[in-house]
Amino acid sequence: MKFSDFNSVSWEENGHYYDTCLIPFTGLTGQESPPQTVERLEKLRDYIDRIERPFRGRIVVYPAVQYDIDNKEQLINEICHNVKSSNFRYAIVLDAGGTLIAQDVYESDLPIAIKGFFDDNGVRGIGLATQEIQRMWQKDMNSKCD
Amino acid sequence: MSSHNEQEKPALKPSSRKEMSRRQFLTYTLGGATAFMGAGALLPMIRFAVDPILHKKGAGDFIKVAEESKITDQPQEFTFELKQQDGWYASTATLTAWIRKNEQGEIYALSPICKHLGCTVGWNNNKATPDEFHCPCHGARYTKAGKNLAVAPKPLDQYKTKIENGWVYLGDIVPNTEAAKEV
């Protein structure tokens, strides 16, 4: 679900089921032409949709971090930390820019790089990403049981 | 006598013919022409504004999805595309159906959308609960026929199904009737 699909009543009612926040990182530099920017955003939207669709009842897609700035890791870490300290248990970062180093976004429970998913590897990439998300939830459940 | 004569003579009345003044004539003709032209310009705009309402709903359309011979008693996943019109926007949605043959040999297709909060269920995808549909989000479980066992409040919906020339066609999503047949 997108953050905008909720209102205060529906969030009050079902919010506790939505424990995972997905933060997209577009990775624009500002050097892209308007059509290139549109293409990037549309591709990212399609991939978000395909990754999020199987888990529509648990994942909430938040507004994206759009630009590839110098302190992007710090910014993303701060956002992940904030969403986890308020409404969510998990934060997933979806990296469409391909410039994030997984270890640097340490506040994210699961960084997913989708740059390699484009074109022919799309279906495989989506499959792997959805498996990773389930593994993240499963791992947490198992660690609670131990 | 005089009264008789008076009756025979038609009374002379002043002419009652109403003549239209030049001002009225101009008002009527110019007003009429303006209204006509205004309507000509407005009607297409009104028609465009309510356009989706004027179109017939494409309900009842069936889409060819799978060969009948490939359907077994185990649920199999099939994806297909549905062209849909959302207001002015036409788009293509990719849908999934789990199709199987029941004990009586009838073919039915279940929607994978969990009736709890809308995640996508899978068949036999949880080792702890084999031969069931399982929802990865909050652990909802369903039988082969889509009957809800845990978490979800209702059975999985199913598609309207039609068999023609050896192919399975799927139509609209409807409430589950298959779960009631399950022993």
B109, B175: one domain: yes
B138 vs A: CB within 8 A:
yes
Cβ contact, residue pair A58, B116, below 8 Å = no
CATH of A3-143, one of 3.40.50, 3.30.310, 1.10.8, 1.25.40: 3.40.50
* CATH number of the domain within which B162 lies: 2.102.10.10
As a whole number, mean pLDDT of residues A54-71 equals 95
pLDDT greater than 70 at residue B6 = no
- Report the share of chain B in percent with pLDDT over 90: 56
B114 vs A: CB within 8 A:
yes
Interface test mutation site (partner A, options B137, B138, B156, max chain A beta carbons within 10 A): B137
* 3-state class (DSSP) for residue A112: strand
Strands (E), B44-111: 63-67, 76-86, 89-101, 107-110
B36, B120: one domain: no
With respect to residue B15, please indicate whether it lies within any of the assigned structural domains.
no
- Domain span at residue B25 reads 20-54
Cβ contact, residue pair B136, A57, below 8 Å = no
**Domain limit, last residue, from B54, B73, B99:** B54
User: Whole-angstrom Cα distance, residue B79 to residue B93?
Assistant: 10
Domain tally for chain B? Answer: 2
User: Whole-angstrom Cα distance, residue B97 to residue B108?
Assistant: 10
Nearest-by-Cβ selection for B138 from A17, A53, A54: A17
Contact criterion met (CB below 8 Å) for A23 and A64? yes
**Domain limit, last residue, from B54, B79, B99:** B54
Residues of B in contact with A14 (CB under 8 A): 117
B58 versus B106: which is more confidently predicted? B106
As a whole number, mean pLDDT of residues B62-82 equals 93
User: Whole-angstrom Cα distance, residue B148 to residue B88?
Assistant: 37
Residues 6 or more apart from A118 whose CB is under 8 A from it? A43
A14 vs B: CB within 8 A:
yes
B25, B80: one domain: no
User: For residue A119, what pLDDT band results from cuts at 50, 70 and 90?
Assistant: low
B90, B109: one domain: yes
Contact criterion met (CB below 8 Å) for B152 and B120? no
Residues of A in contact with B114 (CB under 8 A): 57
With respect to residue B11, please indicate whether it lies within any of the assigned structural domains.
no
- Report the share of chain A in percent with pLDDT over 70: 91
Angle at A13 between CA A9 and CA A16, to 5 degrees: 125
In the prediction, which pLDDT does B8 show?
53
Residues of A in contact with B118 (CB under 8 A): 56-57
pLDDT greater than 50 at residue B1 = no
Q: How far is A29 from chain B (nearest CA, A)?
A: 31
Inter-chain CB pairs, A–B, below 8 Å: 30
What's the helix, strand, coil split of chain A in %, to 5?
55, 20, 25
Cβ contact, residue pair A58, B120, below 8 Å = no
Return the H-helix or E-strand segment holding A140.
helix A122-145
User: For residue A104, what pLDDT band results from cuts at 50, 70 and 90?
Assistant: very high
B141, B88: one domain: yes
pLDDT greater than 60 at residue B5 = no
Check if the interface score ipTM surpasses 0.90: no
Whether this prediction's pTM lies above 0.80 is answered by no
A29 vs B: CB within 8 A:
no
B78, B166: one domain: yes
pLDDT greater than 90 at residue B92 = no
With respect to residue B28, please indicate whether it lies within any of the assigned structural domains.
yes
Residues 6 or more apart from B113 whose CB is under 8 A from it? B119, B120, B121, B156, B157
Q: Which residue, B109, B124, B98, is CA-closest to B177? A: B109
What's the Cα-to-Cα distance from B79 to each of A107, B18, B40, rounded to whole Å? 36, 77, 47
Enumerate residues 54 to 113 of chain A having a beta carbon within 8 A of any beta carbon in chain B: 54-58
**Domain limit, last residue, from B54, B71, B102:** B54
In the prediction, which pLDDT does B181 show?
84
Burial class for B140, CB neighbours closer than 10 Å (0-12, 13-18, 19+) = buried
- Report the share of chain A in percent with pLDDT over 90: 73
Cβ contact, residue pair B119, A54, below 8 Å = yes
pLDDT greater than 60 at residue B10 = no
